[in-house]
Structure 1
Amino acid sequence: MKSKYLSLVLLSAAALSSCSDDFLQEKKNYEQTDVNAYNSYVGSLGRLADCYMLSLPDVNGNPGWQYTSTGKSDDLSKCTEEYYGFGIFVNPEKELSAISGNVVPDYFQGDASNIRASAWGRIRNINDCIQGISNSTLSQEQKNELLGQAYFLRAWCYYLLVKWYGGVPIITEVQPPLATSVTPRSTTKQCIEFICSDLDHSAELLKPFTTKGGWSTGEYGRVTSGTALALKGRVLLLWASPLFNRENKEERWQHAYETMKADLPIIESCGYGLAYENNPGTNASNWAKMFVEDGVNKEAVFVVLYNNKASGGVPDLHRNNPWERSIRPANTLASASSTPTSNIVALFPMADGHRPASYDSYKTLPASSTYDYDKAHPYMNRDPRFYRTFAFTGVRWRYDGNPMNSNNNIPYQGNNYDLWSYVWYLTDEARNNIVDGKTYGTDDLLDKAKGMYIRKRSDDAELGSARYVFNTDQNGFGLSAAPYMEIRFAEVLLNLAEAACQSGHPADAIEILKRIRSRVYNDKENCGIESNLSDAQCMAAILYERQIEFAFEGKRFDDLRRWMLFDGGVNIPAGAPSSWRLTGWGGNTCDYLGFTPLNGTRRERIEYRVKADYNGGLGADKWVVKGNERINPDPLADVKRPAAINLNEGNANKLNQAFTALNTFYDTYLERNDRPGDGLTSAHTELYINFLPRYYILGFGKSMENNRELPQNIGWDDLNSGAPGTFDPLAE
């Protein structure tokens, strides 16, 4: 194969990497990079940079073999309480198969004909990097610095495979792409041990460079010893969880607890910790700020950095985060305006930190709130994180930018953008049609109005300097440099709390829960966390806290799978052995936790509409031009609105007065109208979540149909013979 090199400007290094599309066809030379490139520190650093590029999570990507869920409304998040619209694993009308019809997604292979678009091609590149650096003439110090990062990336790639499939082939050398190059599947236990070994090796190699506060500012974003040990904690938690630990073997939990507790000081030595611990700011402003602030962030244990540069013909310099543009209302020139379900809005804690009495999950928790959940005014008396996670009609949501152009009638308010997003109908027939009735929203939102919006991870102008460059003529918030945190220090602590709870150390877990809440409550001893909890109550409190703290960060689906909360783990796939039966946790994790299984439930969406008395039969769906005058179609155009809720208002009395005025506006002019979120049949009959038992551990999809060497997982049909799969991911 003739050599071909691609210069990649990434992490301030020139990365050398073969990108020949005919890599698997030409069989003369199987090396990706000339070995001499590794004898140069710059060449090795560039090769490592290429591995980073192929391996890092990306908010622009969809979950699969390469990327994790990052909080947007992808196929995984739409299987949780966060988004409505059936994701691929919960659609009751589309059962997944390995062979035909609705084929199970391929998270195992990718494009086998393109090494850069394949899970195993990515691992091959990392193995090439490890081999090349190890055999190079670099100094041992240089080798350790680079290899420590490469071993982490390999472990990360294997974690993404094992969490879906259980045991996979363990390949540690660069193999020629020949039919004889076959590596059998290892057991899940062997894979977990291999991943942890790589992570321990990574942490040890990186200690001299990162355990005195982390990398220098110029190297911020690279993985550290702390990153490796934090991922190891997540891996051990996966191995101890019901998904792979049906008997609830205590030694797994104890090992996870002891390991995570011992590793915590090393993680902290890399500069990581809870950002703004015991310092909530105004209405949890500091908690909100940590998602978007510039510079080194102690919360960001595994972080992906972005910039606000335009491509300018150099694509490797153009790396923007689309999140801000996807969540903002359409009249700010945003594109998607992501919408939460009514379910997750209802389940957030109340102002005293307790779950709403009306929330029917985690009933084992000892106390529900003294506040009533007010469905008509869901923003009243909520956990401080509620206001930084959701935006509702009548709240200020500042940004830096002017959306006015010749194509819109947006009532521009300067930086003090106030969100008003109620809707009206053109006819009584539309008003009475809860399924198809067309709505139109105020402030030029028209047919793009939403009842509530996702505000989480928003670059709110109240919080500091914007990380985006607002462009009126093109894509609004598109050029955003907001980072994405795959692992936060809060997760490190909550992983430890879970292991502590399940290994007989509930006091440790409860103290961690209080620490997490110290960032949003002024008094961590009165934040809704009870001190005397049973093991089941403690575990329910931890999963509830994860659900709130990590909402819209892409973590909920993995938690639902780990704890088998779609059905409590009471069912197993056809043909599975008795060892697949859940015998720990009373044989039903949902009963153990007091959690309502997701199977058999629906997600709906919230709408606030103008009351019939004020809708007025206006019959207008757009601004009308009469002479030089533009007439607003809003039925409430002449009604004086109250001042929008300013979350930066530190005076509690003034804030309460603002909420009271907003409630009066709602009560006078608006009414809540929940509309179907999840699908309906053609006859408009409601459909419900249905996650099948075999989905907990996936089977190989169509990309593996030409591979006759790797056995299929139990619960899925073999792609070649059609016989039931024989590989047992739970066998040790």
Structure 2
Amino acid sequence: MKRKNIFRISVAFWAMTAFTSCSDQFMQDKQNFDSTTADAYNYWSGALGRVADVYRVCLPDPKATPSSMYNSTGLADDQSKSTEEYSGFSAFVDPLKPLTYQTGNNPVPDYFEGTKGDPITSAYGRIRNINDVIAGIEGSTLSQEEKNELLGQVYFFRAWCYYNLVKWYGGVPIITEVQEPVESSVVPRSSAKDCFKFICDDLERAETLLAPFTGAGQWMSGDNYGRVTSGTAVALLGRVRVLYASPLFNRSNNLSRWTQAYNDIKRSIDVLTAAGYGLANESNPGVNASGWANLFTEVPSQEAVFVTLHNTLTEGVPDYRKNNTWENGIRPYNARGGGGKTPSAMLVDMFPMSDGKIPATCETYNTLTKSDIPYYREFPFVDRDPRFYRTFAFPGVRWSFVGNPTTQGNRYPHNGPDYELWNYTWYTDAAYVDDIEANSSVTYGADGLLNDVKGFYVRKRSDDRDVNAIARYVYDEKSGGFTRSAAPYMEIRYAEVLLNYAEAACNAGEMGVAVDQLQKIRARVGYKAENNYGLEAGLDGDQAKCMAAIMYERQIELAYEGKRFDDMRRWMLFDGGIELPEGAPATWKLTGWGGNTCTYLGFKPLNGQRRENLEFRTTVNGGIGGTNVDDDPLVKAGITRPAAMDLRKDLASEQDRLKEFYSNYLTRKTKKGDSYDDSHSPLYIAFLPRYYILGFHQGIQGNNSTLLQTIGWGDYNNGGANGTFDPLAE
């Protein structure tokens, strides 16, 4: 039978349609391939279909909230809302609702099981499916070359599934065969050490198997683009090595783990380069980091090491429909978007100044040299890192798109190509003008935003028309604007590989190598060698300060990409790792990094802090106006707004013009982010020590009575007594 490649550029959503060009009669009535007969694997099309099903259920989904099936991708979910990126108490940081193992009593999130017995939502259902594919392909009559090409991809996804379990639970059952659901099939939890070894072994096997097919960049274009490659395998291996070496799993700061991570990632750079990966637009930063902004919509892209692709197909073709809704979610209401996402003021105020240094007013990283450029909270858009303008949108900035929302009568004065965001606010009553807790029922925004106004907007990963003239979305004025987008989602991009390299190098004592990686990342957004790419001098001679600079760079470069919570957990940045969960043995005590990672890094622990939001309220008419578009106090006063800041131009004059307008007519107001109690007193972040390594809630233990509970969590199968499983034991 002639081999036929059924992967398409919409890789990830290949529902398995009948292979009518082949003679596989047994396949024609299949609606999906989550299970099939052993004979299916003897045909390339059948085996390929089973591998495609693994992609379908294992690839990250930027529309999904974190679960046993999906990781965080930058939405305002429980994980991202536990960081500086968003405000609002999530399950992990709410001081009034500590997580427990008990159903109905603020149960700990389930990243382990999902729906019992479901091969898609259950983590072990997906692993069982993968093990079936591995066994089926290995036992088939396919040629060894065909087997290797398929098995390399499947071993990668088994490692991916286990990585997403181990980063939460430390030690989980390792299952490598298709098991029947009988009592004798029960497998106990393994240690974190054994789990990490298993994951790394799978990734090294995947690299070896995929190297002949992908090692020279063969899959960087055409129908194969979007599949995992030998480069994808070594990139995830680097992330896994760094996780195992991090304080969460390396309490004594065992240098050998960092050395292993450093050596593996150093080798991986050559593998990735040969496979076609690198910093996209590295030699063309563009104006105000436009090259960096463009990398989030490019297809194909050398930046996209592990990517989920999308298309703009409609409901009429469900087998292949896979739309990305991020663009719709971040666009403001008056652009016919979903309403936008609100960044916390903490992160807005934390971004570097234009010289690359941290603002002098920021207390988060207190060992890093502060910028000499003044930071004015009233004008946060002045003199910032180029990535600031591509990460946030604010009153008076251009944010162009393809489409025309004015046809729907929402009173917005411009069409998409000329869109200017004017999201300043006013209030319906003087009593609320300075009230931090004033809600949307009394808050109104300009240009038809009205109650749907956000004080600041997340702009990161936007398909900006001024950057990408050919939109990857289909804009529909009548049915909801940007809902069908083909923008890719990058779970691992090359910049993260370099940041992982920098982290491993720094902690292995190779600080010069670490600084080199930071310089490459900074150069890509426009920083120059003459000012050391905005980095302070001497980082290569101070390991703690170098590591602080790396953590800061990760926070800025990877903002709103779903990475920050993992970074905060593995470096124990909520309290520095100084507290232990109840019942933890002495081996859990952090003895490396001086016993406190926050002190070591000069990082202000997130516990005990609050995240607020911000807006810019008009001072005209005391900030009071009505509930209609024409009730805008500036409009009623006949005040002409300046042209919005245009990121296609040099920002010197652009920001001065906007600053003058703010000075005359707007004032910064703090808006409630995190909660207040019933007496209107502020509440503060409280991430408990047991959250660093999660336990199982009672539903999971009830389904498997042999599953031991993690230390620090109540054991449902033992009357609520403290768990006894030590995932850090070796």
TM superposition score normalised by structure 2 = 0.93
1:229-628 to 2 correspondences below 5 Å:
229-293=234-298, 295-312=299-316, 314-365=317-368, 367-436=369-438, 438-464=442-468, 465-526=470-531, 527-533=533-539, 534-611=542-619, 613=621, 615=623, 617-618=624-625, 620-623=626-629
Taking only aligned residues, the RMSD between alpha carbons, in angstroms, comes to 1.8
Tell me the distance in 1 between the aligned counterparts of 2:14 and 2:620. 62
Q: Distance in 1 between matches of 2:467 and 2:460?
A: 13
Distance 2:591 2:530 in 1: 36
- For 1:639, the equivalent position in structure 2 comes to 639
- Residue type matched to 1:337 in 2? G
Structure 1 distance, partners of 2:339, 2:91, is 20
Q: Look up the SS of the partner of 1:265 in the other structure.
A: helix
Q: How many Å apart are 1:51 and its aligned residue?
A: 0.7
Aligned partner of 1:690 in structure 2 is 686
Deviation readout 1:67-124 (Å, 9 max, x if unpaired) = 1110110110000000000111000010000124111111111111322221100000
CA distance in 1, matches of 2:691, 2:278: 35
Say whether 1:726 aligns with 2:724. yes
Which deviates more, 115-124 or 144-153?
A: 115-124
Residue type of the alignment partner of 2:534: G
- In the alignment, the residues of structure 1 paired with residue 452 and residue 574 of structure 2 have an alpha-carbon distance, to the nearest angstrom, of 32
Following the alignment from structure 1 to structure 2, what is the Cα–Cα distance between the partners of residues 641 and 14?
51
The change in CA–CA distance for 1:580 and 1:524 in structure 2 (over 3 A counts) is same
- Residue 125, structure 1, aligned to residue 126, structure 2: no
Residue correspondence of structure 1 range 68-83 to structure 2 within 5 A: 68-83=71-86
Cα distance change, pair 42–634 in 1 and its aligned pair in 2 (3 A): farther
Change (3 A) 1:682 1:88: same
Q: Is the 8 A contact 1:389 1:455 kept in 2?
A: yes
Change (3 A) 1:524 1:486: farther
Q: Which amino acid aligns with 1:591?
A: T
**Corresponding position of 2:702:** 705
Mark the CA change 1:693 to 1:424 in structure 2 (over 3 Å): closer, same or farther: same
Aligned to 2:196, which of 185, 192, 196?
Answer: 192
The alpha carbon displacement at 1:13 in A equals 5.5
Hey, what does 2:669 align to over in structure 1? 673
Q: What secondary structure, in the 3-state scheme, does the structure 2 residue paired with 1:381 have? A: coil
Q: Give the distance between the partners of 2:515 and 2:154, measured in 1 at CA.
A: 36
CA contact (8 A) 2:353 2:385 kept: yes
Q: Equivalents in 1 of 2:251, 2:473: separation in Å?
A: 47
Once the two structures are superposed, the pairs formed by residues 49-64 of structure 1 within 5 Å of their partners are: 49-64=52-67
Deviations 1:702-726 (A, max 9, x none): 2222312121110011111122111
Shift of 1:521: 2.1
Change in CA separation of 1:13 and 1:603 when aligned onto 2, cut-off 3 Å: closer
In 2, Cα distance between the equivalents of 1:263 and 1:520? Answer: 24
Match of 2:417, SS state, is coil
> Secondary structure of 2:617's match?
strand
Q: For residues 401 and 210 of structure 1, do their structure 2 counterparts lie closer, same or farther at Cα, with a shift above 3 Å needed?
A: same
2:27 corresponds in structure 1 to: none
| 1:264-323 CA-partner distances (Å, limit 9, x unpaired) | 201211100111224211110000000012x320010001000111121x3222111110
Separation (CA, whole Å) in 2 of partners of 1:556 and 1:636: 41
Amino acid at match of 1:141: E
- TM-score, structure 1 as length reference: 0.93
**Mean Cα deviation higher: 49-58 or 632-641:** 632-641
SS of 2:587's partner is helix
Deviations 1:454-475 (A, max 9, x none): 1110000011211000001112
Q: CA deviation at 1:416?
A: 1.2
Equivalence for 1:627: none
In the TM superposition, what is the alpha-carbon distance from 1:514 to its structure 2 partner?
0.4
For residues 243 and 97 of structure 1, the distance between their equivalents in structure 2, rounded to whole angstroms, comes to: 21
| Contact 1:126-1:154 within 8 A present in 2 as well | yes
Percent identity over paired residues: 54
Matched to 2:723, the amino acid is G
Provide the C-alpha distance between the structure 2 equivalents of 1:695 and 1:249, rounded to a whole number of angstroms.
23
SS at match of 1:424: strand
Against the structure 1 CA distance between its residues 603 and 12, is the aligned structure 2 distance closer, same or farther, given a 3 Å change threshold?
closer
Task: State the Cα distance separating 1:414 from its structure 2 match.
Answer: 4.6
Query: 1:514, 1:525 within 8 Å by CA — same for their partners in 2?
Result: no
Summarize the alignment of residues 176-215 of structure 1 with structure 2, pairs less than 5 Å apart. Answer: 176-215=180-219
Distance in 1 (CA, whole Å) between partners of 2:178 and 2:591 is: 42
CA distance in 2, matches of 1:596, 1:678: 18
Distance 1:63 1:165 in 2: 15
The aligned counterpart of 1:37 is 40
Distance 2:711 2:546 in 1: 33
Amino acid at match of 1:98: Y
Alignment gaps of 5+ in structure 1 = 1-6, 18-30, 624-630
Question: Structure 1 residue aligned with 2:150, among 146, 149, 170?
Answer: 146
Relative distance call for 1:10 and 1:510 in structure 2 (3 A) is closer
User: d(CA) in 2 for partners of 1:10 and 1:85?
Assistant: 35
Residues 433 and 614 of structure 1, relative CA distance in 2, 3 Å threshold:
closer
Q: Is the 8 A contact 1:396 1:418 kept in 2?
A: yes
SS in 1 for 2:50: helix
Partner of 1:663: 659
Taking structure 1 as reference, are residues 225 and 513 closer, same or farther at Cα in structure 2, changes over 3 Å only? same
The structure-2 alpha-carbon separation of the partners of 1:442 and 1:238, relative to structure 1 and needing over 3 Å to count, comes to same
The 1:423–1:64 alpha-carbon spacing in structure 2 relative to 1, beyond 3 Å, is same
Q: Report the residue type matching 1:621 in the other structure.
A: T
Question: Which amino acid in 2 is paired with 1:648?
Answer: R
Q: Any stretches of 5+ residues in structure 2 without a counterpart? A: 1-6, 19-33
Instruction: Report the Cα distance in structure 2 between the residues aligned to 1:582 and 1:11, rounded to whole angstroms.
Output: 41
Which residue identity does 2:92 align to in structure 1?
F
Q: Is the 8 A contact 2:612 2:673 kept in 1?
A: yes
Contact 1:468–1:481 (CA under 8 A) maintained in structure 2: yes
Show CA shifts across 1:336-381 (max 9, x none).
Answer: 310111100011000000111111122122x211111110000000
Residue type of the partner of 1:666? Y
